[in-house]
Structure 1
Amino acid sequence: MKNMMKNTGRKIKKYVKEDPVGFISFLMILLFIFLAVFADFIAPYGINETQYMKPKAAPSMEHIFGTDELSRDIFSRILYASRISLFIGFAPTTINLIIGTFLGMIAGMTTLKWVDTLIMRIVDIVLSYPFMILAMAIVYNLGASTKNLFLALILVGWAGTARTVRAQTLSLKNSTYIEAARSMGVSKWKIMIKHILPNIRSLLLVLYTMSIPVAILSEAGLSFLGFGAQPPQTSLGVMVSKGRTYLFDAPWISLAPAIYILLLSLCLNFFGDSLRDMLDSKRSER
């Protein structure tokens, strides 16, 4: 147990020394998640609690990000709003990764040409439309809400993962160990689960971390345009949208949530880059 703790400590020290930006980004991501989960205990005010005498108050010790047009504390609202943004970032991305991995491996492993063609033509159709435009069209027809935004991100977000996983599966299925497993009568499903999946998990992990900020920015952009959370719900994108009316006399109403989105997305991207570099270095060592 002591040796395992020592080895873990050495690995962490090595990671901090080699990539401090990635390590700090990881800690910041944990902080963002912690603030969102425990917003009820950390936020100094309620999400809709109004300080009647302080509309559009500038940032101060009492209200570190100021107040909005209804005298609500912006910092507190950001903590609560980040729950939806983080949920939209992690949940659809997780589902997209599962769907894309499953369909990509099937397309790569199948001996039925029509199955591969069908899956990849659907992927081509989804990827042929700009991501935001297609998501907006789906939400517009279903109605603006967080639930429909969630559904739209799932319907359009799996295609890129499916194409990448298919390419990796095609490169792996002719490997010696796959041929040996096939000659021993191992089924395709077992080959996919026990041989293909473990060999692409590092790729999937990088895809996952890089897709989360895309989902968060998509939610912010769609909510900014009115296709996301609807009152009384709020999200970071909704806060930015609501504050644009007061951009010249109270810019902090929009800038505070916008900077929060920026920092969250940058941390996720930096950590994704760090993870990719770390996994690539391990491959080269092998």
Structure 2
Amino acid sequence: MTEIINTSVQEKPLKRESLWTKAIHKFRRDRIGMVSLAIVLVYFAIAVLVWSGLIAQQWDVLMTSGQAGPSAEHWFGTTINGQDIFQRAIYSTKTAFEVGLVVAVLSTTIGAITGSLMGYYVGSVLDEFILWVMNCIDCIPYFLLVAAIAVAMEGNPYAMHTAMTLAFWTGTARVIRGEVIKLKNMEFTEAAHALGVPTYRIIFRHLIPNTSHILLVEMTLLFITAIKSEVILSFLGLGVKESISWGLMIAEASTEVTSGHFCNFFAASGMLFVLVLAFNLFSDSLQDALDPRKVS
């Protein structure tokens, strides 16, 4: 009886975990990564609630006749115009996530497609041309390029998104190009060639999906970079125009701090600092979990 049980156990095939499953398990064991992810999800929930119109919809309403300090009704006081500072800081979360998500998704998509084409046709005219375009973009100082595009598209609500996307996609394209050059010489790509699979299917069904772990990390890095850039551009007057953002709040606070009013500055910079710190820690943990050399 014992021999029969042992034989059945030995004959049962071992269940192999995928790299994604191993990466998820590794990330879940990372306490810093899980805590930072929880903080990011809280911010995301706030952005969704603002977008759905459930909270912070009175950020532009004049609550008082002038500037007021913190109170039970207005936790961070009001601005010189009488607007609630806390509601303005909460509403700015929606602005940050809107810019971050749009820019990160567009930049990653463009970078993935162009990088894959460059890597697959490495050394060709197409590869050389795209590299030349990328070098032209990268040789221009980032904020000068974004400012020029934002001014040229003044009045367009998506001017800032377009400017950042045009400046950010090149980094992702370079990383994906190098990865695709390595992948195109592997057995699964050669097998697809031997079976007569069209080139576009090899690129979009085999090569790009095998770079998804890189694209995910790149997207998280671009997301937080876009948020920081939006704050800086708004502070300089080149970003958000008809809404509110942490950059605009810090710009307003730059004149208020000298007169002893710090609430506007602390509300905006505090929200920004926590989100940037949490997302950077999350990106580091995610990159560590998705690194094929460390996943065992």
Instruction: Give the alignment's TM-score, normalised by structure 1.
Output: 0.88
Hey, what does 1:52 align to over in structure 2?
Answer: 64
Q: Which is richer in helix?
A: 1
1:132 is aligned to 2:143: yes
Q: Distance in 1 between matches of 2:218 and 2:196?
A: 32
Name structure 2 gaps, 5 residues minimum.
Answer: 1-22
C-alpha deviation, 1:112, in angstroms: 6.8
| Partner amino acid, structure 2, of 1:206 | V
C-alpha deviation, 1:144, in angstroms: 6.1
Q: Alpha carbons of 1:117 and 1:195: their partners in 2 closer, same or farther (altered >3 Å)?
A: same
Q: Where has structure 1 moved over 3 Å in runs of 4 or more? A: 11-16, 282-286
CA RMSD across the alignment:
2.1
Aligned pairs for 1:1-286 within 5 A: 15-16=27-28, 18-39=29-50, 40-43=53-56, 46-53=58-65, 55-110=66-121, 113-143=124-154, 146-231=157-242, 233-248=243-258, 249-280=260-291, 283-286=293-296
C-alpha deviation, 1:157, in angstroms: 1.5
| Contact persistence 2:213–2:290 (CA under 8 A) | yes
Q: Alpha carbons of 1:107 and 1:242: their partners in 2 closer, same or farther (altered >3 Å)?
A: same
Q: Alpha carbons of 1:239 and 1:145: their partners in 2 closer, same or farther (altered >3 Å)?
A: farther
| Partner amino acid, structure 1, of 2:100 | G
SS in 1 for 2:208: helix
| Partner amino acid, structure 1, of 2:250 | V
Q: Distance in 1 between matches of 2:238 and 2:132?
A: 28
Larger radius of gyration: 2
Q: Distance in 2 between matches of 1:70 and 1:128?
A: 43
Q: Alpha carbons of 1:214 and 1:144: their partners in 2 closer, same or farther (altered >3 Å)?
A: farther
| Contact persistence 1:210–1:272 (CA under 8 A) | yes
Number of residue equivalences = 272
Q: Distance in 1 between matches of 2:126 and 2:25?
A: 48
Q: Alpha carbons of 1:15 and 1:179: their partners in 2 closer, same or farther (altered >3 Å)?
A: closer
Q: Distance in 1 between matches of 2:182 and 2:231?
A: 37
C-alpha deviation, 1:98, in angstroms: 0.7
Hey, what does 1:4 align to over in structure 2?
Answer: none
C-alpha deviation, 1:147, in angstroms: 1.8
Q: Distance in 2 between matches of 1:143 and 1:132?
A: 16
Name structure 1 gaps, 5 residues minimum.
Answer: 1-10
C-alpha deviation, 1:42, in angstroms: 3.2
C-alpha deviation, 1:93, in angstroms: 1.0
Q: Distance in 1 between matches of 2:155 and 2:247?
A: 14
Bigger drift between 210-219 and 108-117 goes to 108-117
Q: Alpha carbons of 1:285 and 1:213: their partners in 2 closer, same or farther (altered >3 Å)?
A: closer
| Contact persistence 1:109–1:188 (CA under 8 A) | no
Instruction: Give the alignment's TM-score, normalised by structure 2.
Output: 0.85
| Partner amino acid, structure 1, of 2:195 | M
The percent of aligned pairs where both chains have the same amino acid is 31
